[in-house]
Amino acid sequence: MKQYILALDQGTTSSRAILFDHDGSLCGSAQHEFAQHFPVPGRVEHDASDIWTSQLACARQVLREAGVSAAQVAAIGIANQRETTVLWDRKSGEAVAPAIVWQDRRTADACERLRADGHAALVQQATGLELDAYFSATKLAWLLDNVAGARERACRGELAFGTVDSWLAFKLTGRHVTDVSNASRTMLFNIHDVAWDERLLTLFNVPPEVLPQVVSSSEVVGHTHADLFGSPVTVSGIAGDQQAATFGQACHSQGMVKNTYGTGCFMLMHAGAQAVASHNRLLATVGWRVGGATDYLLEGSVFMGGATVQWLRDGLGIIEKSCDVEELALSVPDNGGVYLVPAFAGLGAPHWDPYARGTLIGMTRGSGRGHVARAALEAIAYQSAELLMAMQKDAAIPVTEVRADGGAARNDLLMQFQADLLGVPVVRPKVTETTALGAAWLAGLAIGFWESREEVAAQWQAEKQFEPLMREDRRRELMATWARAVERSRGWAPSGSGV
- Encode 248-275: b = buried (16+ Cβ within 10 Å), e = exposed: bbbbbeebbbbbbbbbbbbbbbbbbeeb
CA distance 231 to 172: 12
- Estimate to the nearest angstrom the gap between the alpha carbon of 466 and the chain centroid: 24
Does 310 carry a binding-site annotation?
yes
| C-alpha angle 199-83-124 in degrees, rounded to nearest 5 | 40
Does 263 carry a binding-site annotation?
yes
Does 254 carry a binding-site annotation?
no
Does 151 carry a binding-site annotation?
no
Does 82 carry a binding-site annotation?
yes
Does 16 carry a binding-site annotation?
yes
Contact 390, 282 (CB under 8 A): yes
Does 12 carry a binding-site annotation?
yes
Does 242 carry a binding-site annotation?
yes
SS3 annotation, 104-165? CCCCHHHHHHHHHCCCHHHHHHHHCCCCCCCCHHHHHHHHHHHCCCHHHHHHCCCEEEECHH
Does 243 carry a binding-site annotation?
no
Q: Which of 81, 87, 132, 144 is nearest to 107 (CA)?
A: 132
Q: Where are the alpha helices (DSSP H) in 306-452?
A: 306-311, 325-329, 369-395, 412-422, 434-447
Does 113 carry a binding-site annotation?
no
Residues 6+ apart with CB under 8 A from 100: 43, 44, 45, 84, 85, 106, 139, 142, 143
Does 83 carry a binding-site annotation?
yes
Does 42 carry a binding-site annotation?
no
Long-range CB pairs of 379-382 (<8 Å, 24+ gap) are 379/304, 379/308, 379/339, 379/340, 379/341, 379/342, 380/261, 380/265, 380/302, 380/305, 380/306, 380/308, 380/408, 380/414, 380/418, 381/414, 381/417, 381/418, 381/421, 382/421, 382/478, 382/479, 382/482
Contact 460, 249 (CB under 8 A): yes
Binding residues for sn-glycerol 3-phosphate, by number, are 12, 82-83, 134, 241
Binding residues, by number, are 12-14, 16, 82-83, 134, 241-242, 263, 306, 310, 407, 411
Binding residues for ATP, by number, are 12-14, 263, 306, 310, 407
Binding residues for ADP, by number, are 12, 16, 263, 306, 407, 411
Binding residues for glycerol, by number, are 82-83, 134, 241-242
